[in-house]
């Protein structure tokens, strides 16, 4: 039993509120335990210069992401990143962008840029993975807002994406670490997967002594179990707005 009475395979209680703000076509407040992230998705009818310069016959869209922890999200207070992102924020927003780009058929999207903004309101572990999970829901709502402008015979959202943390705490593999667990973990992994079980990215490190392949496999199995639950949660949150997805066979 963990310090918050969860079993090793349990996620924290997760709450999702869509359409949290009115300005962005995709806006989701997502919470896992005390960790709270506002994810918004905006669409621009333009491309970055390096994409716009491509052959017009092969032009395709793009997705970018930004991540920030608001000053009051941690104790002690985190200073606002006014001029330059710190290394951690820069690395996390690149992860979010890479992960969510795996969901999108950019040829079908056309000459548009999707901007995913993830702002952490309260941090208690797992902010990057929760940003990806909530960011996908916001992405779906944003794409739905321009459904009438998109080709009817081509999927823009090809697969669902979710992410979760796993680790080893006091010798036991556990799912969805909060800050207390993360700060003392012997192994720390972040796993991004599609809803059909394909891996997109695995970030992991031994915080102390090296760990075995068997222990890695146990953690990846836990992550896959967590992604199944998160995918169901995403599907339930979107309801009838859940996009049609490409059917993938995972060997």
247 belongs to a structural domain: no
pLDDT band at 251 (very low <50, low <70, confident <90, very high): very low
Instruction: State residue 223's pLDDT score.
Output: 98
- Number of structural domains the chain divides into: 1
pLDDT in tens, 121-137: 999 999 999 999 999 99
d(CA 174, CA 167): 6
CATH code at position 201? 3.30.230.70
Burial pattern 73-97, b for ≥16 Cβ within 10 A else e, equals: beeeebeeeeeeeeeebeebbebbb
244 belongs to a structural domain: no
What pTM was estimated for this model as a whole?
0.93
pLDDT band at 246 (very low <50, low <70, confident <90, very high): low
Greater confidence (88 vs 186) lies with 186
pLDDT in tens, 53-98: 666 667 899 999 999 988 878 878 878 776 667 788 899 999 999 9
pLDDT in tens, 213-239: 999 999 999 999 999 999 999 999 999
Instruction: State residue 50's pLDDT score.
Output: 84
Range of the domain at 161: 14-78+88-238
Is residue 247 scored above 70 in pLDDT?
no
Greater confidence (76 vs 158) lies with 158
Instruction: State residue 19's pLDDT score.
Output: 97
Instruction: State residue 249's pLDDT score.
Output: 41
pLDDT in tens, 1-40: 899 999 999 999 999 999 999 999 999 999 999 999 999 9
**Mean pLDDT computed over 138-147:** 96
129 belongs to a structural domain: yes
In angstroms, the Cα distances linking 61 to 73, 114, 192 are 33, 8, 22
Greater confidence (81 vs 161) lies with 161
Is residue 187 scored above 50 in pLDDT?
yes
pLDDT band at 151 (very low <50, low <70, confident <90, very high): confident
Radius of gyration of the chain (CA): 18
β-strands 187-194, 199-206 pairing: antiparallel
Q: With contact defined as beta carbons under 8 Å apart, do 245 and 143 qualify?
A: no
5 belongs to a structural domain: no
């Amino acid at each position: 039993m963990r310090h918050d009475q969860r079993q090793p395979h349990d996620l924290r209680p997760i709450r999702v509120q869509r359409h949290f703000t009115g300005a962005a076509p995709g806006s989701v407040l997502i919470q896992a335990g005390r960790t709270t992230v506002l994810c918004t998705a905006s669409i621009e009818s333009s491309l970055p210069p390096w994409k716009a310069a491509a052959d017009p016959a092969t032009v395709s869209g793009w997705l970018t992401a930004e991540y920030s922890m608001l000053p009051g999200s941690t104790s002690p207070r985190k200073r606002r990143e006014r001029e330059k992102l710190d290394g951690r924020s820069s690395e996390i927003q690149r992860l979010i962008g890479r992960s969510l780009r795996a969901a999108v058929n950019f040829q079908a999207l056309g000459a548009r840029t999707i901007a995913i903004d993830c702002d952490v309101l309260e941090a208690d572990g797992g902010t990057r993975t929760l940003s990806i999970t909530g960011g996908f829901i916001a992405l779906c709502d944003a794409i739905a807002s321009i459904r009438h402008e998109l080709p009817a015979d081509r999927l823009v959202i090809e697969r669902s994406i979710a992410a979760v943390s796993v680790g080893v705490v006091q010798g036991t593999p556990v799912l969805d670490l909060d800050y207390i667990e993360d700060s003392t973990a012997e192994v720390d992994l972040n796993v991004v997967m599609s809803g059909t079980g394909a891996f997109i990215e695995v970030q992991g490190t031994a915080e102390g002594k090296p760990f075995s392949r068997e222990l890695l496999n146990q953690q990846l199995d836990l992550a896959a179990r967590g992604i199944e639950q998160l995918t169901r949660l995403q599907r339930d949150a979107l309801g009838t707005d859940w996009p049609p997805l490409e059917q993938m066979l995972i060997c």
